[in-house]
Structure 1
């Protein structure tokens, strides 16, 4: 009886894991990585395709922390997804680059880390986000 319950509990845990995987796992079989990128960019004001360990990605994300936005960017950490490589391939098709980070503002591609920092320093990023940035002078 104990062995039966253990197997049954194991099956329940496996079913729960499968449900969680379906909700948070890779792009579903009905959706391509390219459509995932496009729908994610469309659904959020700021999207950063990133890798958690990448110093350039950290640099781009830090720019948005500096801005103290009311709504934080939506970050897709590709190294934490089974389909991260496929999403990077889709980024190559969409923006012509497979490198990370890739930043999108209001549905438009801004670029990578250097582009993001440059846009921040020039004031372009604040304009794109329609925010006021206080000058420390």
Structure 2
């Protein structure tokens, strides 16, 4: 957790942390003036990789977000037949719901204890360590 909290590309909120992706420098050289915001976001995503991709992610799988748990590159997804695409989307929705349930459950408990990642990050880490014991 400390490596995530102190990561230079981490954006810490009271009850969540977002570690922004590495964006390949050639992204800045692409023409974007004719693109909508959604198209620009999609383009940026195509130039992005996870901060932990090269070294491997050290997060316990139960702490990973839905993107980490369900990502399949477009080449593979496009090669799936309709049955498997539907199955993939079903699992993606299942993981997204699990992630949201996890977030709501633990955010509520952390609020009850009066702790958060900005003011008392060590207590939040301790809270999650106690769950594993």
Instruction: Decide which structure has greater strand share.
Output: 1
- TM-score between both structures, scaled by the size of structure 2: 0.25
Larger-Rg structure:
1
